Structure 1
């Protein structure tokens, strides 16, 4: 399995006592599979995504990526797993305002010490239809263009897993549809495992599998959410 969890829980301590966000989550995602996680706000889906991506740690249970237990790793080691195996796309794009589109896409490859960072970034920006916008800064780009830059950036590390958190949440329906089509096309081209949190049922139905979160529990696994 590319991703596997066993009895994963997440608790936080509050002034009112312990709050349980996730209850004993068991999950298995195969290499190359596309999976949508849906559910109401506060259901725990974004928390689960953070645990699967190694951005947060579970209170108990195990999260494994390619049979490597993230709970056995320190933050530096988890960061290396993310750098080597994971790409991210967020609702709010998270581009660096002072960098151009080209520089934003190049950055992860440069940090990894890759000599082909610029060539790869140019190729990816061409794939997402932004070859004419390389030197533009985020504030000079539309929301859809910024998300396409973010998609290019996510793929520059040739990740085995792509985590997407509401990737079309800040886009209008027409722009969102364009970004959706691009995201799935590139994911297929690169053979990436896609794990996506979304409120958009239409988007979720395009995935191989839909997981439904409810009050911190994985209630259902079904092929659609029509």
Structure 2
């Protein structure tokens, strides 16, 4: 399988009043198309920083990243934004739905921004796939936490403009109770399998990490351990 995501020797530092602070130290990994990776670790271990770099939301201080075969570390912000619009979806812990838009309008938004004529139809299809076909015209304040997260998942999968996609999820069940969390986990992996997307998620939940093909544990900005799970040893390669 060809790599959907590859990172080589990532380092990330930020300036503070006490001098440079290292957030990430020498991270390398590779993930094949259609596979899944869980990133775990204690708060402050660098999980969300790594996720943001892999998604092209920021540039590392050192190192290189390839996403869908293109080196995003060689791009400017406008080029990275264009690539994200084509093949990247996001699921956030706090849903990040626009309160003035209905469920349908929230899911339509990425496709509308690309000027796609089928934005409404595509949004309706994904809302139906997450079981919210009866909630199309409800606003976020009229939806439960679990329903809002399902809208966010539908929006993420509807974001792909065609071809391969990669979905980044930051604590996707962190704001939900156990019952709704289990439903969201099942839904996330069901849609991931149906769409053959690549999935990278940050989580504190072991049950969610265990559903992924590979598991990377972080500590103090570095990879502590990296495992490939399941029966296929070639699912993913994560280098320590």
Give the TM-score normalised by the residue count of structure 1. 0.97
Q: Give, in whole Å, the separation in 1 of the partners of 2:212 and 2:47.
A: 16
**Mapping of residues 36-55 of structure 1, within 5 Å:** 36-55=38-57
Q: Give, in whole Å, the separation in 2 of the partners of 1:24 and 1:221.
A: 14
Segments ≥4 residues shifted beyond 4 Å: none
Select the residue among 195, 203, 207 that pairs with 1:202. Answer: 207
Higher mean C-alpha displacement, 98-107 vs 65-74: 65-74
Structure 2 equivalent of residue 100 of structure 1: 102
Note if contact 1:205-1:223 (Cα within 8 Å) is conserved in structure 2: no
Structure 2 equivalent of residue 170 of structure 1: 175
Select the residue among 13, 17, 30 that pairs with 1:11. Answer: 13
Q: Give, in whole Å, the separation in 2 of the partners of 1:73 and 1:222.
A: 31
Shift of 1:157: 2.5
Structure 2 equivalent of residue 110 of structure 1: 112
Select the residue among 59, 62, 65 that pairs with 1:63. Answer: 65
Q: Give, in whole Å, the separation in 1 of the partners of 2:131 and 2:29.
A: 36
Q: Give, in whole Å, the separation in 2 of the partners of 1:197 and 1:157.
A: 20
Structure 2 unmatched ranges of 5 or more: 230-240
Structure 1 unmatched ranges of 5 or more: none
Q: Give, in whole Å, the separation in 2 of the partners of 1:157 and 1:175.
A: 23
Structure 2 equivalent of residue 85 of structure 1: 87
Instruction: Note the aligned Cα RMSD (angstroms).
Output: 0.9
Structure 1 equivalent of residue 235 of structure 2: none
Structure 2 equivalent of residue 134 of structure 1: 136
Do the aligned partners of residues 223 and 27 (structure 1) sit closer, same or farther apart at CA in structure 2, a change above 3 Å counting? closer
Give the TM-score normalised by the residue count of structure 2. 0.92
- How many residues align? The count is 224
